[in-house]
Structure 1
Amino acid sequence: MLFKLKKLDWLMVSILGLFMLFSTLLVRSAIAPYESEFRNYDIKTLLFYVLGFIVVFSVALVDYRTLLRFSWYFYGAGCVLLVLVYLFAPEINGARSWFRIGGLQFQPAELVKVILIVTTAYLLGKKQGKPLQFRRDIIPITLVTLLPFFLVLIQPDLGNAIIYLVVLVGMLWIGNARYSHVLIALTAAVAALILAVTLFNAFNTEIQDYLTKHQKLHWYQRINTFINPDQASSDDKHQSNYAKIAIGSGGLLGDGYMKGELKNKKFIPYPYSDSIFVVVGEEFGFVGSSLLLLLYFLFIYRMILIALHCIDKRGAYVIIGIVAMFLFQIFENVGMMIGLMPITGITLPFISYGGTSLLINMLCIGLVFSIKLHQEKYKVN
């Protein structure tokens, strides 16, 4: 066991240690103006990281091919959880996405991301690197993703739903999809996006009235602010505007730790979670933000190196799925804080506060390490 652990990528483990330090300090700074409301979130972050490292090392010692073998059972259980959370979970911030377990919350949509990656890798592995056929391969794999996609979309959780599609596209690409199929998919996606925006603008008032009636107006506000910034009210643009002001005010080196003026005056909503990159930009400036992004780059680069050395293509597929998930989450979270992307509920991986998302991210790293440790010759199941 100890011999296997010596073969881990200890640079990645070291970066995880830095993420733990940065996350704890940033969450501490973010909750300072709300001490009574979000008490001990920094301590909880540290505790979740300790539990997360246990998850990383435990999963690393398990042969990932065992998970692949039971992927369909995991997939069924994940879909059942998504149905149950929609039917029975309490509504929080306009969405039914969390189970309450004691004083903790569990979000099934986070777990299903990993389940989809493992299930898709299992299906792609059956092709053994051969080009994917549209009807025999791409359509069935896409349908496997679309079921949980719609189950999460109706919660509504637009952020995680989009991640499912991003993971699907990334894994199909590395799974040897034909260029013609990729071109067709991109054309269809662009056409669907143009149609969606056109319909949104054409029925803007009706959509607003419907969502207001069903108490889902915050989704309309987020989308409308991004598509029609000139028409959105100042209240709707509050988070986006102040996020950009705060990051810009940080300048080159920032205002200093716990000295962010806009954050301390509570102008930034959810600074410990969705908006934690604003804390980085305001208090540590361009240099601090760049260093954080550099750490992400090194972290993902190491995962890609492990994928390149995989004997088992299924292991490479799993890692690419995880890489696609992390890349999109980082791009979306940072992009929405600087006005490049619409605001969603996507957190910044390993940095934002959130027990479920952190543990799932650590589970993913455990999977990557398991793939690295179990690359002996194999027989496709």
Structure 2
Amino acid sequence: MRWDNIFDKKLLKNIDIGIIISMILLFACGIAAIASATGVTHGGSLTQIKIQSVAFILGIIAIIIILFFDYNTFGDMSKLIYAVSIILLVAVLIFGKEIKGSKSWFDLGPVNFQPSEIVKIGFILSFAKLLEKREGTLDTIKGIIPIILYIVPIIGLILLQNDFGTALVFIFFIAFMVFAAGMSYKFILGTGVLAVLSLPLLWFKFFGDYQKKRILVFFNPELDKLGSGYHVIQSKIAIGSGQFTGKGLFKGTQNNLGFIPERHTDFIFSVIGEELGLIGSVVIIFLFMILITRCIYIARISKDSYGKYICIGIMAMLLFHVLENIGMTIGIMPVTGIPLPFVSYGGSSLLTNMISVGLVLNVGMRRQVIRF
């Protein structure tokens, strides 16, 4: 197993401070928004704040542990990581708990754990190694077939959980990774065309009634004002009422009166928009821009292809979460239950995102390390 002393000055000077600062500030903004959404200042419970804080502390510990190991150690273990990912997804189908129509959770008493969050990281680590090994072969059908066979079991198991939103996350970052690995845009475009052509089949054979309703309501929320369209309508009202400077932290009327559903999780950006206005919303988006652009920078300067693909996968995963979550709160993306990284309440999501950041920092730290 490859590991280094992370307190070595040669490694410490390569730690990306921009990523660390943006992550901490996003978490701090998230804690404030969660406190407002759960009514802490009005006698609400501190449970969510405590759980989120514990998850953050565990995330810091996880990052430190990850930094001790050369990231190529995970590449050496790629087959085992992939196998464990498959086992987790199968296990949740058998023993998991169904929440909001998706059987994708393990019930661990006071804490619900979603294994697909960890599988995101596991798949990126293992898939990046496969892409490194198959560089230069992704412009032929023969070279693409092993890639497809590697992807299908993971996506298939997630779809069996009825978790279409998470499946979209995987498809998004996989597309970025294979493009970075040299797959022709023609193949990617062709896959996109096939996906569009398959929509009628998905609509009539695979989508449930609630999924169909979500899609129809996305185009016209007024179709179901008090049902599927309620989330988006109330979210847009909240964000719009915040105007430029917002109503003030803990002073949002839509939030405090309970009109915003899932306001401490999926729709936390609505709380931020109402209480901190356009200024607060832009600050959050700016912090995400720093985080994502630093991931791209580290991918570009990484010492090997494996590190590059890890960073691209994690960057794309975070990017999709940000675009989808903020987009659905303002009505330009369908509601899929995708949380806002580091900001939305959710221990497993926060821990996953922090581990992801740890991996990017790991790649950046070792960009100039040469071993003989």
TM-score, normalised with respect to structure 1: 0.89
Aligned to 1:173: 179
- What amino acid maps onto 2:58 in structure 1? L
Aligned equivalents of 1:355, 1:49: Cα separation in 2: 8
Q: Does 1:81 align with 2:73?
A: no
Unaligned runs of 5+ in 1: 212-216
Residues 152-189 of structure 1: CA deviation (Å, up to 9, x unaligned): 11211111111111111010110111233233223223
Residues 124 and 283 of structure 1: is their aligned pair in 2 closer, same or farther, counting only changes over 3 Å? same
- What amino acid maps onto 1:315 in structure 2? G
- Partner residue of 1:270 out of 244, 255, 262: 262
Listed as ranges, the matches of 1:100-139 within 5 Å are 100-128=107-135, 130=136, 132-139=138-145
Aligned to 2:321: 329
Aligned to 2:151: 145
Aligned to 1:156: 162
Consecutive aligned runs of 4 or more in structure 1 exceeding 6 Å deviation:
33-37
Shift of 1:90: 2.2
Shift of 1:139: 2.6
- What amino acid maps onto 1:192 in structure 2? S
Q: Does 1:55 align with 2:66?
A: no
Question: Are the equivalent residues in 2 in contact too, given 1:280–1:288 (CA < 8 A)?
Answer: yes
- Equivalent residue pairs, number: 364
Aligned to 2:21: 14
- What amino acid maps onto 2:141 in structure 1? R
Match of 2:112, SS state, is strand
- Partner residue of 2:252 out of 251, 260, 270: 260
Aligned equivalents of 1:338, 1:164: Cα separation in 2: 23
Aligned equivalents of 2:104, 2:206: Cα separation in 1: 22
Aligned equivalents of 1:65, 1:356: Cα separation in 2: 25
Shift of 1:56: 1.2
- Partner residue of 1:222 out of 194, 198, 214: 214
Q: Does 1:364 align with 2:356?
A: yes
Aligned to 2:53: 46
Aligned equivalents of 2:43, 2:98: Cα separation in 1: 23
Question: Are the equivalent residues in 1 in contact too, given 2:221–2:228 (CA < 8 A)?
Answer: no
Match of 2:258, SS state, is coil
Q: Does 1:27 align with 2:34?
A: yes
- What amino acid maps onto 2:338 in structure 1? I
- Partner residue of 1:309 out of 301, 308, 332: 301
Residues 63 and 292 of structure 1: is their aligned pair in 2 closer, same or farther, counting only changes over 3 Å? same
- What amino acid maps onto 2:361 in structure 1? F
Aligned to 2:72: 65
**Cα RMSD (Å) of the superposition?**
2.3
Question: Are the equivalent residues in 1 in contact too, given 2:221–2:233 (CA < 8 A)?
Answer: no
Question: Are the equivalent residues in 1 in contact too, given 2:225–2:233 (CA < 8 A)?
Answer: no
Question: Are the equivalent residues in 2 in contact too, given 1:20–1:351 (CA < 8 A)?
Answer: yes
**142-151 vs 231-240, which moves further:** 231-240
**248-257 vs 142-151, which moves further:** 142-151
Residues 220-268 of structure 1: CA deviation (Å, up to 9, x unaligned): 4322312454544542210011111111111001110011111111111
- What amino acid maps onto 2:277 in structure 1? G
Question: Are the equivalent residues in 2 in contact too, given 1:269–1:275 (CA < 8 A)?
Answer: yes
Match of 1:352, SS state, is coil
Unaligned runs of 5+ in 2: none
Match of 1:328, SS state, is helix
Residues 136 and 116 of structure 1: is their aligned pair in 2 closer, same or farther, counting only changes over 3 Å? farther
Aligned equivalents of 1:134, 1:101: Cα separation in 2: 46
Aligned equivalents of 1:344, 1:38: Cα separation in 2: 27
Match of 1:271, SS state, is coil
Shift of 1:19: 1.7
Residues 221 and 47 of structure 1: is their aligned pair in 2 closer, same or farther, counting only changes over 3 Å? same
Aligned equivalents of 1:103, 1:23: Cα separation in 2: 21
- What amino acid maps onto 1:112 in structure 2? V
Aligned equivalents of 2:210, 2:335: Cα separation in 1: 10
Aligned equivalents of 2:124, 2:39: Cα separation in 1: 37
Aligned equivalents of 2:190, 2:100: Cα separation in 1: 37
Aligned to 2:193: 187
**45-54 vs 88-97, which moves further:** 88-97
Q: Does 1:243 align with 2:249?
A: no
Aligned to 1:214: none
Amino-acid identity (%): 35
- What amino acid maps onto 2:77 in structure 1? F
Shift of 1:358: 0.7
